[in-house]
Structure 1
Amino acid sequence: MAVHTAESNEARRKDVRRVDRVIIRFAGDSGDGMQLTGDRFTSETASFGNDLSTLPNFPAE
């Protein structure tokens, strides 16, 4: 059984900041699952009511 102390609760606290804009870049090859990662991230972010725009960058072959 885990015992939670005030110190362990204090260590788990996180500061929350509200920001107007955030840029998140996922980098990798399509074979690494980057398209799926972007698709899942887009779906989850939109489900929380966030506005989202994506810009896929397909390299020349």
Structure 2
Amino acid sequence: MTSQVSSAAEQADGAVVGGPRKPAGAKGVRRLDRVIIRFAGDSGDGMQLTGDRFTSETAS
């Protein structure tokens, strides 16, 4: 199974990959217009509940 962390467009504009490196432990804040979060699993693994709770929390 393979996973794709970011699309070519995201890599090209530096939204996910690139930019200046920071020292270990340093965290920066970056505002994004949009993000994609993917959950993977079977409904028997609780994925429907996970998606429902994630949606509820991000909407509030």
CA distance in 2, matches of 1:31, 1:15: 37
CA distance in 1, matches of 2:58, 2:38: 14
**Are 2:32 and 1:19 equivalent residues in the alignment?**
yes
Structure having the higher helix fraction is 1
TM-score under structure 1 length normalisation: 0.55
> What is the RMSD computed on CA atoms of the aligned residues?
1.5
The answer for unaligned runs of 5 or more in structure 2 is: 1-24
CA distance in 1, matches of 2:38, 2:53: 14
SS for the counterpart of 1:17 is coil
CA distance in 2, matches of 1:14, 1:41: 24
Aligned length: 37
1:14 shift after superposition: 2.0
TM-score under structure 2 length normalisation: 0.56
- Map 1:1-61 → 2, pairs under 5 A: 11=25, 13-47=26-60
Give runs of ≥4 in structure 1 deviating > 3 Å.
Answer: none
CA distance in 2, matches of 1:14, 1:43: 27
